[in-house]
Amino acid sequence: MVPTSDRSRMATEARASVAIRAENLTKEFKLAHHAYASLKGLLLSFLPKRVEHLVALKQVSFTIHKGETVGVIGQNGSGKSTLLGIIARVYRPTSGELEVNGRVAPLLELGAGFHPDLTGLENIYFNGVILGLSRKQVAERIEAIVQFAELEGYIDAPIRTYSSGMLMRLGFAIAAHVDADILLVDEVLAVGDARFQQKCYDKIQQFQREGRTILFVSHDMEAIQQVAQRALWLDKGVLRADGDTSSVVRDYLRSVQET
Ligand SMILES: Nc1ncnc2c1ncn2[C@@H]1O[C@H](COP(=O)(O)OP(=O)(O)O)[C@@H](O)[C@H]1O
Ligand SMILES: [Mg+2]
């Protein structure tokens, strides 16, 4: 028999090691079909609107422990970005439970969270503060962020003049320098050139050594297998598999070939 004090300590430790826990997570988007730009449309707009319900995630459950890197795979529209968006608190789940322990640095769509008319530098401040740093902490990291992003000559230009590669570099550099416990990476690395991608993978490895938690969405099965020990496979919003990366990737590729 384990003494009660030990048992409660063990329970506390088990809870403390959870980074992300999802239980029956469901997300439904409501798509209202609005009136057309015509007289008929105007008349139709007095009728009840047709609302389409789209279930992007269906009863998804999993637990990710601190220090794990988990790949998320699945065809387009399978709910990968929705899942990351919920973890980043961009969306609220329709039902189910989500526990997130630690500070999250989301790297979602390209340029998400950036203000096009502000300069690169202003966007670093803006995002750094949003992600939980003080202005002083941001100031201390500016040089490292700009250097990592390789944007020394462009940092005073408005973001709207940036290429997709530059946006990705800035986004990754910020996410990598805010001391987050959990890093969410949604596909964005694909727009970078091979050399910068390698630099991101090196940084990701450093995070792994530091015991941070990473959720990594990619269509690049080689990258997924190199980065993650474990993978989640989402299929039309349903969690089809959760396990060791090589077997989940193998089953996924097999199912893609069959369809
Ligand atoms: N903001 C939104 N409003 C309405 N529907 C959305 C929204 N975001 C995603 N969806 C829908 O939810 C489903 C899952 O999308 P998504 O999570 O982006 O998939 P993935 O990232 O795997 O390609 C898709 O059918 C998509 O059209
Ligand atoms: Mg997506």
Pairwise CA distance, residues 48 & 34, whole Å = 10
Per-residue pLDDT reduced to its tens digit, 84-135:
999 999 999 999 999 999 999 999 888 888 999 999 999 999 999 999 999 9
Q: Rounded to the nearest whole angstrom, what is the distance from the C-alpha of residue 206 to the centroid of ligand 2?
A: 25
Q: Up-side HSE of residue 10: CA atoms within 13 Å toward CB?
A: 6
CA of 153 to the centre of ligand 2 (A): 31
Q: Which residues line ligand 1 (CB under 6 A)?
A: 29, 31, 54, 56, 74, 76-82
The residue contributing the CA closest to ligand 1 atom 7 is: 29
Tokens 């005073």 belong to: 156
CA of 37 to the centre of ligand 2 (A): 31
The amino acid at 33: H
Count CA atoms closer than 13 A to 89's CA, side-chain side.
11
Geometric angle at alpha carbon 132, from 119 and 148, rounded to 5°: 50
Q: What percent of the chain has pLDDT over 90?
A: 78
Which atom of ligand 1 lies closest to the CA of 78? 22
- Distance between CA 109 and CA 113 in Å, rounded? 9
Q: How far is the CA of 8 from the centre of ligand 2 (A)?
A: 40
Domain boundaries, the chain: 4-258
Q: How confident is the model at residue 189 (pLDDT cuts 50, 70, 90)?
A: confident
CATH of domain 4-258: 3.40.50.300
Q: How far is CA 198 from CA 43, 110, 252, 254, in A?
A: 56, 18, 25, 28
pLDDT at 35: 52
Q: Among the bound ligands, name the one nearest to the CA of residue 77.
A: 1
Q: What is the pLDDT of residue 80?
A: 97
At 188, is the pLDDT very low, low, confident or very high (cuts 50, 70, 90)? confident
Closest C-alpha to 138, from 173, 166, 112: 173
**Per-residue pLDDT tens over the stretch 142-159:** 999 999 999 999 999 999
Using an 8 Å Cβ cutoff, are 9 and 79 in contact? Answer: no
